[in-house]
Amino acid sequence: MTEQIDAGMVARRIAESDRLGSPDPSREIGRARRRKEDARLITGRTLWTDDIQLPGMLYVAFLRSPMAHARIARVDTSAARTQPGVVAVYSGRDFAGEQGNLPCAWPVSEDIVIPDHPPMAVEEVRYVGEAVACVVATDRYKAADALEAIEVDYEPLEPVLDMTEALAEGSPKVHEAGNRAFTWKFSGGDVEAAFRDAPVLIERTYVQQRLIPTAMEPRAVVATTDGTAFTLYSSTQIPHVLRVMLALTTGIPEHLLRVVAPDVGGGFGSKLQVTAEEVLCLLLTRRIGKPVKWTESRSEGNLTAHHGRDQLQRIALAAERDGRIRGMRADLLADMGAYLMLVTPGIPILGAFMYNGIYKMDAYDFTCTGVFTTKMPTDAYRGAGRPEATFAIERAVDELAHELGMDPVELRRRNWITHQEFPYTTIAGLTYDSGNYEAATDRALALFGYDKLRAEQADRRDRRDPVQLGIGVSTYTEMCGLAPSRVLGSLSYGAGGWEHAAVRLLPTGKVEVVTGTSPHGQGHETAWSQIAADAMGVPFEDVSVLHGDTTVAPRGMDTYGSRSLVIGGVAVLQACEKVKEKARKLAAHMLEASPEDIEFSGGTFTVRGTSAGKTIQELALAAFAAHDLPEGFEPRLDAEVTFDPQNFSFPHGTHLCAVEVDTETGLTKIRSYVAVDDVGTVVNPLIVEGQVHGGIAQGIGQALFEEAVHDAEGNLLTTTMTDYLIPSAADLPEFVTDRTETPATSNVLGAKGVGEAGTIAATPAVVNAVVDALRPYGVRDVRMPCSPERIWRAIGESGGAAAGWAGPTESEGGER
């Protein structure tokens, strides 16, 4: 999307005060710039996909399966077709020859089963919400009405809802090939030896509940054609990947398909997808010849925008009595849902290299089995595999500390990689390039007032206070910057992990940056402007950033996996350097000097030792005029770079959470939360802090509030925001954040990525705190989300009828 800045209204009057650090005032990088994006967002002049109106536009609505598993016996669309304003009604069968299958780009193993996945079901439905038919009508109200006139006969089949049961002999099958999608194994070191005669063994099973990502903007798609070429607007994180995939899926030639991501209202992975609705809107506009629009309702989105997490983790830690970890085993069941979508099977595999966390150990073993169930497919959700891994290791390490009677921070110190040991190749085979866990932890402990809170905790325990205090520790790292293409290839991913940037110096000295990243709230327009302004020596205001349209920015790998800055931002920087090299030649020519004698500073090229110079703006005009250029010099100052990283980056940090648990009701209140993150070099501290805040909120959401719940028939019960609980301002505390800064050595910016850090760190910090509060009652785990009832039951089941009130009875002890 092109910038739509109304500079007059916004830029004024706001002091560029820096809340975090005081960088070199002459540099843009490190400065807390207020965002360029805000101007349109705070005035309602944003362009969301649903805002797009095209002449003659028609509206699409989907009829969705009310059954988790059924054969479609009959679809009768005749009555719906005669309703006023209805242009067309189609069932899956009407598109059977044309719609193909939704793609899975990550066949993780040789034996993987990738079932057919028609965008509209033809023979069988396998989750509640699967599209069965669609209406195209002259407005959205008429389209919704006509859905009710479509008749569908279903022959019910057995739903498959529980992963363990799904793998058991005789289970009903989601697909003919069975319910096992794949098994993926990884091993490092001698695991048998590590566990043999281990003095301490911690074995736990953790449930990563199913989550609904819930970007605030519901998905929307607009598709249009002139009869030859097609344009698809979608609320997507991945316009570039989408274009390739849609071309492959629909047969529309790639060069005749333009994909545009207008302003996108959040994604968190949920818009990293090739959706049935995108494919079908393209097919509908092709068939009908008019522009079509589909916008999901929230309840439709809760059903059919892909879900996240949903893993069963069996974890084992072997350790010495002094706390040294010998080895770890992780054995997962990962719920794929009914089909494999774009990167569904790869999500748990992204976690495979992270179960060892920041710790040194001799051996590690990982197994993941992907399981089909009759539920909405899972796929990327903020962190994607890494939050699950971090949760498991950070919870297990706390359990080990408790088992040994050791402070959980001290146990971590005994096991983590010390700052002198970087670069360090872990037991999972990754090379962590840099980090300083000691520094981040010490800073966090100081901000938190750790010792004082421990004293208060002891006092409350002594007093048997009905409100108990718990302290949770989470020292995380993650692999960011997805990803070196060769690594992705070795993991059987269907594409590379490079990123592209183009930088164009315009005749008047302004700079256009074209990026292949596709922001949806991250502030790339601002951060990329800062990078380019520094590199080119031009004012921040003189840079514009173009993105999110495959015509404007034709090459890219888009935005997910905390990759944009560490790959896309680096590409921008490198493209600026290339432009400068050209400009240097031109300056040398104009100044009648050798290029080696030209120095660049503050936007001006000067001849070393003289005051003779040319500004970059003068050079821009000279290149445009082209009257007097060096021999063979093309009359333009622009450059393109495609950057493929050599390694991941590894942000880390220490998050500390104090909770007060009301043992009489089970209610948890977060009393304080401290996060000290090390995300390497920071381009914009304001944006980094914002990412950490939002990430923590979502991590807390998983720990305390959020869960997609199905009934015994496979109906999703949490279809609305009344039932799927998103925390509001009143449900969250102020977060205290700070940073340490250990630059990444794997890229020239030194940046590590921050988009997922908070989410990865926060969930175990909160749950560790809850369990810590309940230790006096013998509680050693509470399943997420740690709802008041689960906490009350955990206390009751451990025999500690809290504070005199009767505990739960056996009669109704169902897991909730």
Partner 1 sequence: MIPAAFDYVRPASLEEACHVLATSGEEAKVLAGGQSLLPLLRLRLAYPSVLVDLGRLPDLHGVQDRGDHVFIGALTTHDEVMRSPVIREHVPLVALATATVADPAVRHRGTFGGSLAHADPAGDLPAVALALDCVFVTRMTGGQREIPAADFFVDYLESALEAGEVLVGVKVPKLGAGWGFHYEKFHRTAQAWAVVGVAAAVRTEGGAIAEARIGLTNMGSTPVRAPAVEAALRGAPSAAPNGNGSSNGAHDPVRDACGEAADDTSPPADLHATSDYRRHLARVLTYRAVRAASA
Partner 2 sequence: MPRITVTVDGIVYEEEVEPRLLLVHFLRDRLGKTGTPVGCDTGNCGACTVMLDGRSAKSCSVLAVQADGSDVVTIEGLAQNGTLHPMQEAFHAEHALQCGYCTPGMIMAAVDLLKDDPDPSDEAIRHGLEGNLCRCTGYCNIVKAVRRAAQEMSGEGVRTS
Interface with partner 1 includes 787 (CB under 8 A)?
yes
What is the Cα–Cα distance from 657 to 764, expressed in whole angstroms? 9
Q: How far is the CB of 731 from partner 2 (least distance, A)?
A: 8
Cβ contact 272:385 at 8 Å: no
Kindly report whether the peptide bond that precedes residue 384 is cis, defined as omega within 30 degrees of 0.
Answer: no
Could you count the other beta carbons within 10 Å of the beta carbon of residue 431?
13
Tokens in use for 356? 């060892």
**Residue 792 found at the interface with partner 1 (CB under 8 A):** yes
Residue 377 binding target from partner 1, partner 2, none, CB below 5 to 8 Å by type: none
Tokens of 769: 């705190």
Q: Which of residues 278-337 bind partner 1 (CB under 8 A)?
A: 297, 299-300
Choice between 32 and 576, CB closer to partner 2: 32
Q: Which stretch binds partner 1 (CB under 8 A): 11-19, 124-132, 280-288, 726-734?
A: 726-734
Nearer to partner 2 by Cβ, of 36 and 117: the residue is: 36
Q: Does residue 731 bind partner 1 (CB under 8 A)?
A: yes
- Burial (CB < 10 A; 0-12, 13-18, 19+), residue 275, is buried
Of the candidate residues 445, 725, 736, 748, the single one contacting partner 1 (CB under 8 A): 725
Alpha-carbon distance of 494 to 509, in angstroms, equals: 40
Burial letters 325-358, b for 16+ CB under 10 A, else e: bbbbbbbbbbbbbbbbbbbbbbbbbbbbbbbbbb
Report how far residue 495's alpha carbon sits from residue 421's, in angstroms, rounded to the nearest whole number: 33
Q: Which is nearer to partner 2, 215 or 333 (CB)?
A: 215
- Name beta bridge partners: 368: 184, 332
Residue 208's beta-bridge partner residues?
311
Under rule CB under 8 A, which residues in 458-477 are in contact with partner 1?
Answer: 464-466
Residue 615's binding partner among partner 1, partner 2, none (Cβ under 5 to 8 angstroms by kind) is none
Decide if residue 726 touches partner 1 (CB under 8 A).
yes
Between 66 and 539, whose beta carbon lies closer to partner 1? 66
Closest to 291 (Cα-Cα) out of 282, 303, 300, 304: 282
| Chain centroid offset of residue 329 CA | 26
Q: Within 13 Å and on the Cβ side, how many CA atoms surround 613? A: 16
| 388 touching partner 1, by CB under 8 A | no
**Quick one: 14 or 730, whose CB is closer to partner 1?**
730
Alpha-carbon distance of 131 to 118, in angstroms, equals 9
Q: Which residues bind partner 2 (CB under 8 A)?
A: 8-10, 13-14, 34-35, 37-46, 48, 50-51, 53, 139-141, 214-218, 263-266, 268, 297-299, 520-523, 686-687, 689-691, 693-698, 720-722, 726, 728-732, 734-735, 758
Q: Considering beta carbons, is residue 17 or 811 the nearer one to partner 2?
A: 17
Classify 221 as helix, strand or coil. strand
Give the range of 489-497, 566-574, 594-602, 803-811 binding partner 1 by CB under 8 A.
803-811
What's the order of all strands across the beta sheet hosting 613-615? 598-601, 604-607, 613-615
Residue 691 near partner 1 by CB under 8 A: no
Question: Is there binding between residue 776 and partner 1 (CB under 8 A)?
Answer: no
Contact of residue 667 among partner 1, partner 2, none (CB under 5-8 Å per partner type): partner 1
Partnered with residue 364 across adjacent β-strands are 188, 328
Which residue number, 20 or 621, has a Cβ lying nearer to partner 2? 20
Alpha-carbon gap, residue 69 to 173, rounded angstroms: 10
Residue 705 is a binding residue for partner 1 (CB under 8 A) = yes
Q: Is the Cβ of residue 535 or residue 708 nearer to partner 1 in the bound state?
A: 708
**Could you tell me the smallest distance in angstroms from the CB atom of residue 16 to partner 2?**
10
- Nearest Cα to 210, choosing from 377, 428, 59? 377
Which is closer to partner 1, CB of 24 or CB of 139? 139
Q: Which is nearer to partner 1, 490 or 728 (CB)?
A: 728
The CA distance from 29 to 688, in Å, is: 12
Member of 85, 727, 733, 800 binding partner 1 (CB under 8 A):
727
Instruction: Note the Cα 386 to chain centre separation in Å.
Output: 10
**Considering the rule CB under 8 A, would residue 734 count as an interface residue with partner 1?**
no
The encoded tokens of residue 457 equal 């905790």
Q: How far is the CB of 300 from partner 2 (least distance, A)?
A: 9
User: Which one of partner 2, partner 1, none is in contact with 207 (Cβ closer than 5 to 8 A by kind)?
Assistant: none
CA distance 694 to 675: 12
CB closer to partner 1, 463 vs 627: 463
Q: Of 39-47, 363-371, 470-478, 716-724, which part binds partner 1 (CB under 8 A)?
A: 716-724
DSSP label at 44?
T
Amino acid (1-letter code) at residue 774: L
- In terms of Cβ atoms closer than 10 Å to its own Cβ (0-12, 13-18, 19+), residue 251 is exposed
CB of residue 15 to partner 2, shortest distance in Å? 8
CB contact at 8 A, 557 and 244: no
Residue 45 in the binding site for partner 1 (CB under 8 A): no
Indicate the SS3 state at residue 40: helix
Separation of alpha carbons 675 and 696, rounded Å: 9
CB of 544 to partner 2, least distance (A): 18
Residue 464 interface partner, choices partner 1, partner 2, none, CB cut-off 5-8 Å depending on type: partner 1
Sole binder of partner 1 in the list 494, 507, 554, 788 (CB under 8 A): 788
Q: Which of partner 2, partner 1, none does residue 806 bind to, with CB < 5 to 8 Å depending on kind?
A: partner 1
Let me know: does 272 contact 305? Beta carbons within 8 Å: no
Name which position in 76, 664, 713, 738 contacts partner 1 (CB under 8 A): 664
Q: Which does 264 bind (CB under 5 to 8 A by kind): partner 2, partner 1, none?
A: partner 2
Q: How far is the CB of 262 from partner 2 (least distance, A)?
A: 11
Q: Which does 256 bind (CB under 5 to 8 A by kind): partner 1, partner 2, none?
A: none
Output 218 or 484, the one with its CB closest to partner 1: 218
Nearer to partner 2, 193 or 732 (CB): 732
Q: Which is nearer to partner 1, 16 or 139 (CB)?
A: 139
| One residue of 667, 736, 780, 798 binding partner 1 per CB under 8 A | 667
Dihedral over Cα of 806, 812, 813, 816: its sign? negative
Residue 201 in the binding site for partner 1 (CB under 8 A): no
- How far apart CA 521 and CA 517 sit, in angstroms, is 12
14 vs 806, which CB is nearer to partner 1? 806
- CA-based nearest residue to 130, from 159, 108, 107, 171: 159
Query: Which of 77-103 are b and which e, b meaning 16 or more Cβ less than 10 Å from the residue's Cβ?
Result: beebbebebbbbbbbbbbbeeebbebb
The bridge status of strand 230-234 relative to strand 257-260 is: parallel
What sign results for the dihedral spanned by CA atoms 265, 267, 270, 274? positive
# residues contacting partner 1 (CB under 8 A): 42
**Nearer residue to partner 1 within complex by CB, 247 or 667:** 667
Chain residues binding partner 1 by CB under 8 A are 140-141, 144-145, 148, 297, 299-300, 464-466, 664-665, 667, 705, 709, 717-718, 720, 722-723, 725-728, 730-731, 787-789, 792-793, 803-806, 808-809, 811-812, 814, 816
